[in-house]
Amino acid sequence: MTQELEKRQKQEVGTTSAEQMEESGKAFSPDVDIYADEDGLVLAVDMPGVAKGDVQIRFDEADTLSIRAKNAFREPAEPAIRQFHAGDYYRAFSVADEYDKEKVTARLQDGLLEVRIPKREEAKPRRIEIKA
């Protein structure tokens, strides 16, 4: 089931999560679409204003995938009209053991970060031959 929202406010990251950012300032939780198939997971993360070198993706010992990114755009002090806030990004996900944390790949293009986490070979469905 797909849910569409007409208008959504950016969600600012709470103090505990924001403290994990390297520099102080506003940090937002980016929108993420997650797709799963028999080969693994794909996370599509919306990160406008972020350059390739400003993204950090890490797995910790608790199997938590964290994504941190610095937004290159800095807001002027007094905008005439404000319809959005700029800031850095932070998001974290718990990832099940069936996924291969050593083979994660990522690509950033036009403000969209695509993170692929493949399933471990032993967790993939396999076809069983039926003998006559």
Contacts of 105-109 with CB under 8 Å at 24 or more apart are: 106/55, 106/57, 108/47, 108/50, 108/51, 108/52, 108/55
Question: 77 versus 25: which is more confidently predicted?
Answer: 77
pLDDT for res 7: 46
Domain ranges within the chain, ordered by starting residue: 12-17+25-73+87-122
Q: Span 89-100, mean pLDDT?
A: 93
pTM: 0.75
Q: What is the mean pLDDT of residues 17-34?
A: 72
- pLDDT tens for 47-65 read 988 988 999 999 998 899 9
- The pair of three-digit structure tokens given for residue 27, joined into one six-digit string: 């940090």
Q: What does pLDDT average to over the chain?
A: 82
The answer to whether residues 82 and 19 touch, using CB atoms and an 8 Å cutoff, is no
Residue 10 confidence (pLDDT):
59
How distant, in Å, are the alpha carbons of 29, 36, 77, 95, 98 from that of 15?
12, 31, 23, 23, 31
Fold assignment, 12-17+25-73+87-122? Immunoglobulin-like (2.60.40)
Both tokens of 95, joined, read 């990832």
